[in-house]
Chains A and B, each alone.
Chain A
Amino acid sequence: MTPIFGPAANLVAKLVLLALGGCLVVALFIGWVGPSTEWATRVGYPVEQPVPFSHKHHVGGLGLDCRFCHTTVETSTTAGMPPTHTCMTCHSQLWTNAEMLAPVRHSLADGKPIQWVRVNRLPDYVYFNHSIHVAKGVGCETCHGHVDQMPLMEKAQTLRMGWCVDCHRDPRPNLRPKAAEFDMGWQRTADTPSGDALFKQNHIHTAAELTDCSVCHR
């Protein structure tokens, strides 16, 4: 009988096996690593806004406090987006004719709100409360990054469940003294109370309590 396959077939067969195995490995790798890439998490991608508001200028340059605009961050679930009115407290005096600010002026004139594009978008089904995080010593920078260096706002953290839970399991490394919560680029010094001291001082719940499902899902 004539063999059906030539000698190369064995090599082909092994290559095919190798390729199948390789595909599996690559698929697993993509499945594993893919979701953590910056493209997938959108971390570090500046987002275009109707008005190119620069945190770098307002926070880094002018030194405005976060709470000047985000007024409800200490009392509400949401940090609060400033009404057009807040912009105009200064910009009715400064840069009154700047082309860049035309949408702000139109908003005030027409009574139509500015449609900002959301940058920090939590996964669905999560109820996040800003006020409790601020009350317990989590600084803005921990989640929102160095906003004083962002000409356009960008996401600083993945905001994924795994990331949230990491901190909820042990918030100590991310705790700051009250006075430093709204600072950017804050560094722990020798005088800073330890994370553990802050944890105790702020009466933060145990990891078991902080990782209860209903802490975030209702």
Chain B
Amino acid sequence: MAVMEPGQTLTTISATIAEETLNPGRRLWWWGGFLIAVAFTALFVLAVEYLFIAGVGIWGIDIPVAWGFAIANYVWWIGIASGGTIISALFYLTQSEWRSAVNRIAESMTLFAAAAAGIMPILHLGRPSYFYWLFPIPNTMGLWPQFRSPLLWDFFAILSYVTASVLFWYLGLLPDLALVRDRAPTYRRQLFYGIAALGWTGSHTQWRLHKTAYGLLAALMAPLVISVHSIVGLDFSGGLLPGWHSTQFSPFFVFGAVLSGFATVLLLVIPVRRLYRLEPYITAHHLNLLVIFLLLCSLLLAYSYLIDALLPFYGSDRYERAVAMHRFTGEWAWSFWAAVVLNVVVPQILWFPRLRLRLWLVLLVSFGVVIGMWCERIMLVASSLYQDFMPSAWGHFSGTVWDWSTLLGSVGMAAAGFFLFLRYVPVVAAYELKELLPPAERRG
């Protein structure tokens, strides 16, 4: 399997990719999808506005389950976001050629997923208007944030991650914006893409600098994404709750994040490839590799689940054991078993190479993983909280209509962003594809 189908030239690559952006034609699927996404975004806005008016009481959270959907959504989204960064940064460092065709889609997905993730902790706050108190900025009170809190670590991690992701994405996009600029048929578009391209000419000086900068950023992004998910894991394991207080949470969260990231990338790449007729560039080879990585992450996650489930019974902590039993059989057991089935059991069918190429099946498995990962997040939040140390304080938890609206609305919001990306930005890194051409074919 090749990274690119034969018969491609510099000219065809330029034309295919730039024209998708410049002359998309009448695309009913785009409008349909975008409007649905906008409708869900409206639901999100409604849910958030009512949240700001009435308070977090509109959600199902209580004491003892003081964290609910907002945190689960946050962890879920940030995990999904990891997919783009891993593909574009980590595989850049390993010089995996196949990443070039899918990294733009994956990175853009990262941006919108990270944005959806970044909103959640603010919505989660009882007093969201004071979120800026987490910044260490001089103030008339002479106060500082509390640097020992995993939540503050998380705040900084998200801040760094979102900023770095945007910069990395834009840096990688710059030459392609110039490509679109140079093919733009109207002055307005020339102006738009011209401003966005910032004067990129493709001089060798620029290319050399670009390569250095991109490599440096990729080298920084790779540990950053690992640290972000480790810190997200610490949001939980930094607490003393049975079911949270576990040394394996950081790698566990990285595995889960990458699994959901790959699943989401597959979920987006497969339809985009078809709709944009990108089959020459995103070949079966790409999909096969992505699926294999999905399977690998699924196995890593299975290992984490196994440890998480068995460790309480290896040790002597009765609270850990109780929480493990709640996970297996308690009122949130469905979320545990859904996570196990969707994230671990079902993906095992991808061991069969022939099934890996059945795209509808891969789509289905990926979708299952995305759902399964959300189940895992809510399982970690709810099943550890609702029955912890003091039996007298045990409680219940269930989501309300506003919880679900926020979740679905955030999906709509991220999707709307992604649709705009599809419409206005080259969906594949053209210059990287060109590099993949055999030397003999590198001519126009």
Contact = CB atoms under 8 A, between A and B. Distances in A.
Interface of A: 1, 4-5, 10, 13, 31-32, 35-36, 158, 160-162, 165-166
Nearest to B197: A4
Contacts of B7: none
Contacts of A162: 139-142
Contacts of B187: 4
Contacts of A166: 142
A36 B142 CA distance: 13
Contact of A1 (B137, B139, B182): B182
Contact of A161 (B138, B141, B198, B199): B141
B190 A4 contact: yes
Contacts of A161: 140-143
A165 B142 contact: yes
A35 B191 contact: no
A5 B140 contact: no
Contacts of B143: 161
17 contacts: A4-B181, A4-B190, A4-B191, A13-B198, A13-B199, A35-B140, A36-B140, A158-B140, A160-B140, A160-B141, A161-B141, A161-B142, A161-B143, A162-B140, A162-B142, A165-B141, A166-B142
Contacts of B190: 4
A207 to B, nearest CB: 13
B140 A4 contact: no
B194 interface: yes
A182 to B, nearest CB: 29
A84 to B, nearest CB: 37
A105 to B, nearest CB: 42
B181 to A, nearest CB: 7
Pairs A-B, 9 closest by C-beta atoms: A161-B141, A162-B142, A4-B194, A160-B140, A4-B190, A162-B140, A35-B140, A165-B142, A162-B141
B141 A5 contact: no
A13 B141 CA distance: 39
Interface in B124-160: 137-143
A43 to B, nearest CB: 13
B216 to A, nearest CB: 22
A200 to B, nearest CB: 26
Most buried by A among B140, B194, B199: B140
B194 A5 contact: yes
Contacts of A35: 140
A87 B194 CA distance: 76
Contacts of B182: 1
Contacts of A160: 140-141
Interface in B93-142: 137-142
Nearest to A28: B137
Interface string B175-207: 000000110000100110010001100000000
Contacts of B139: 162
A208 to B, nearest CB: 15
Contacts of A158: 140
A20 to B, nearest CB: 14
A6 to B, nearest CB: 12
A10 B137 CA distance: 35
B257 to A, nearest CB: 33
Contacts of B181: 4
Nearest to B191: A4
A157 B153 CA distance: 37
Nearest to A5: B194
Contacts of A10: 199
Given A1-B182, A158-B140, 9 more contacts: A4-B181, A5-B194, A10-B199, A13-B198, A160-B140, A161-B141, A161-B142, A165-B141, A166-B142
Contacts of B198: 13
B188 to A, nearest CB: 11
Contacts of A165: 141-142
A160 B138 CA distance: 14
Nearest to B194: A4
A5 B194 CA distance: 8
A165 B137 CA distance: 17
A142 to B, nearest CB: 19
Contacts of A36: 140
Contacts of B141: 160-162, 165
B4 to A, nearest CB: 28
Interface string B2-14: 0000000000000
B260 to A, nearest CB: 36
Nearest to A16: B195
B229 to A, nearest CB: 31
Nearest to B140: A160
Contacts of B191: 4
A32 B138 contact: yes
Nearest to B189: A4
A162 B142 CA distance: 5
Query: Which interface residue of A1, A32, A36, A162 has the most chain B CB atoms within 10 A?
Result: A162
Interface string B198-242: 110000000000000000000000000000000000000000000
Contacts of A31: 137
A32 B137 CA distance: 9
Contacts of B142: 161-162, 165-166
Contacts of A5: 194, 199
B187 to A, nearest CB: 8
Nearest to B193: A4
A165 B144 CA distance: 14
A13 B196 CA distance: 11
Nearest to B187: A4
A4 B190 CA distance: 7
A161 B142 CA distance: 7
B186 to A, nearest CB: 11
Nearest to A1: B182
A160 B190 CA distance: 54
A166 B142 CA distance: 9
